[in-house]
C-alpha cells in the first residue's frame, strides 16, 4: 500500500471523509528518531492522527497535536499542514513493552495528562483546545477531544497494526464528519462500524486507498482528491541564526569565550546547524549596531 491522503464525500447522507495511510512515512520517522517498538507505535499513531487534523484545516494553515502524560513516554508532539506534510518529536524514544503490542502503548502513555490541539486560524489567530488524558490510547482520547471541543459531529479511527516483528506493519487513519445538512444517524452508524472494527479489519486484510474507505462508509463514496503525505521539516539556517541572536550581544560573547561555537540540533528532523566563531562575532557586531535579529544588512 502506498502512503496517501484521500478526501471524499458521502453525498446522500451529507458526510465528508478524510483517509490517511502513513506506513512508509512512519517507518522513516522511526529510523530518523531511533525509536524502540512501543515509542514507534505511539509516534506512528500521532503521525496519522496529526495528518487527519491537518487535512481538516483551512487551506495553508497548520495544526499541532500534543500529549503530555505521566507514563514513561512523557510526551509527543506532531505539527501538520493541510497538504499532507508533517513533522514531530517524541520525548522518550527508548520506550518498549514486550508482549502484546496493543497493551504497550497504553502502558507507555500512563493514566493522566493532557491532550491539546493548537489550530492556526489564519491571520495570526490561533485556537487551542484540550482535554484531560485518561487511561487509554491516543486515538481514544482524541475522540474525547472532538466530543468536547469541536462543533462538528465527528467519528474517527487510527490504527497501527504490527506485522510479525515489524511494529509498524500498517499505519492508517480515517475521520468522517457530518456536513451542515448531513445525517447524524448515518454518521452514528459509521461510528458503530468503526467501534466494531470495520476499519481495523479492512486494514489488516490488506485494503488501501478508496477500497479501505469504502469498507467503512460504503459504496456511495465520491473521491474528491488524493495526494501524497511526507515528513517535512521547515527548519533552516536562518531560524538557527535567529535563535542565537536571541541571546543578545553579551550572551553571544559569553558563548564565544566559553564554547567558541553554537551547535543547534533540530528536534524534528535531526538536522544540525553549527554557528562558528567568526559568524557568532559577526552576529554580535550587527546586533550592537542595531540590526534586528543580527540579520545581514
User: When comparing pLDDT for 150 and 57, which is higher?
Assistant: 57
Q: How high is the pLDDT of residue 294?
A: 55
Task: Tell me which residue of 31, 116, 109, 26 sits closest to 77, measured CA to CA.
Answer: 116
Q: How high is the pLDDT of residue 256?
A: 87
| 24-37 residues labelled b (16+ CB within 10 A) or e (exposed) | bbbbebbeebebbb
Tens digits of residue pLDDT in 185-239: 999 999 999 999 999 999 999 999 999 999 999 999 999 999 999 999 999 999 9
For domain 4-231, the CATH superfamily is: Hsp33 domain (3.55.30.10)
Task: Outline which parts of the chain fall under CATH 3.55.30.10.
Answer: 4-231
- Of the chain, the end-to-end C-alpha distance in Å amounts to 50
Q: What is the C-alpha to C-alpha distance for residues 60 and 282, in angstroms, rounded to an integer?
A: 35
Give the mean model confidence (pLDDT) for residues 118-141.
Answer: 93
Task: Outline which parts of the chain fall under CATH 3.90.1280.10.
Answer: 237-294
Enter the C-alpha cell of residue 61: 494553515
Q: How high is the pLDDT of residue 273?
A: 95
The band of 297, judged by pLDDT with boundaries at 50, 70 and 90, is: very low
What is the number of residues in the chain? 297
Domain 237-294 class in CATH: alpha beta
The radius of gyration computed from the CA coordinates of the chain, to the nearest angstrom, equals 22
Task: Tell me which residue of 156, 145, 173 sits closest to 229, measured CA to CA.
Answer: 173
Please determine, for residue 291, whether its predicted confidence score (pLDDT) is greater than 90.
no
Q: Which helix (H) or strand (E) holds 270?
A: none
| 191-215 residues labelled b (16+ CB within 10 A) or e (exposed) | bebbeeebbeebbeeebbbeebbbb
- Chain position carrying cell 465528508: 16
Three-class DSSP category at 128: strand
Tens digits of residue pLDDT in 15-40: 999 999 999 999 999 999 999 999 99
Tens digits of residue pLDDT in 142-179: 999 999 987 899 999 999 999 999 999 999 999 999 99
The band of 260, judged by pLDDT with boundaries at 50, 70 and 90, is: confident
Q: Write out the E strands in 47-91.
A: 62-69, 75-81, 85-90
Asked if 80 and 51 count as a contact pair (C-beta separation under 8 A), the reply is: yes
Beta 113-122 vs 166-178: how paired, if at all?
A: unpaired
Q: What is the C-alpha to C-alpha distance for residues 58 and 61, in angstroms, rounded to an integer?
A: 6
Whether pTM > 0.95 for this model: the answer is no
Q: How high is the pLDDT of residue 1?
A: 66
* 125 secondary structure, DSSP code: E
Give the mean model confidence (pLDDT) for residues 53-77.
Answer: 95
Question: Helices 248-258 and 237-245: crossing angle, nearest 10°?
Answer: 100
Tell me the sheet residues that pair with 89: 77
Amino acid at each position: 500500500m502506498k502512503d496517501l491522503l484521500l478526501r471524499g464525500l458521502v453525498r446522500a447522507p451529507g458526510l465528508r471523509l478524510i483517509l490517511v495511510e502513513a506506513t512508509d512515512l512512519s517507518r522513516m520517522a522511526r529510523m530518523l528518531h531511533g525509536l524502540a517498538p512501543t515509542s514507534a507505535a505511539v509516534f506512528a499513531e500521532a503521525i496519522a492522527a496529526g495528518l487527519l487534523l491537518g487535512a481538516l484545516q483551512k487551506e495553508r494553515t497548520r495544526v499541532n497535536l500534543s500529549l503530555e502524560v505521566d507514563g514513561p513516554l512523557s510526551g509527543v508532539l506532531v505539527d501538520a499542514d493541510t497538504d499532507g506534510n508533517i513533522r514531530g518529536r517524541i520525548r522518550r524514544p527508548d520506550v518498549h513493552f514486550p508482549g502484546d503490542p496493543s497493551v504497550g502503548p497504553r502502558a507507555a502513555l500512563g493514566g493522566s495528562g493532557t491532550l491539546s490541539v493548537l489550530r492556526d486560524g489564519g491571520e495570526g489567530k490561533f485556537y487551542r483546545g484540550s482535554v484531560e488524558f485518561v487511561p487509554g490510547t491516543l486515538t481514544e482520547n482524541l475522540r474525547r477531544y472532538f466530543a468536547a471541543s469541536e462543533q462538528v459531529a465527528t467519528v474517527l479511527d487510527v490504527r497501527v497494526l504490527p506485522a510479525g516483528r515489524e511494529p509498524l506493519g500498517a499505519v492508517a487513519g480515517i475521520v468522517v464528519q457530518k456536513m451542515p445538512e448531513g445525517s447524524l444517524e448515518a454518521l452514528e452508524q459509521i461510528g458503530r462500524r468503526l467501534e466494531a472494527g470495520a476499519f481495523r479489519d479492512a486494514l489488516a486484510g490488506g485494503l488501501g486507498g478508496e477500497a479501505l474507505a469504502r469498507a467503512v462508509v460504503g459504496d456511495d463514496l465520491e473521491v474528491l482528491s488524493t495526494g501524497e503525505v511526507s515528513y517535512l521539516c521547515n527548519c533552516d539556517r536562518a531560524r538557527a541564526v535567529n535563535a542565537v541572536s536571541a541571546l543578545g550581544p553579551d550572551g553571544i560573547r559569553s558563548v564565544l569565550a566559553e564554547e567558541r561555537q553554537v551547535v543547534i540540533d533540530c528536534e524534528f528532523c535531526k538536522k544540525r546547524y553549527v554557528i562558528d566563531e567568526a559568524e557568532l562575532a559577526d552576529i554580535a557586531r550587527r546586533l550592537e549596531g542595531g540590526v534586528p535579529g543580527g540579520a545581514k544588512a
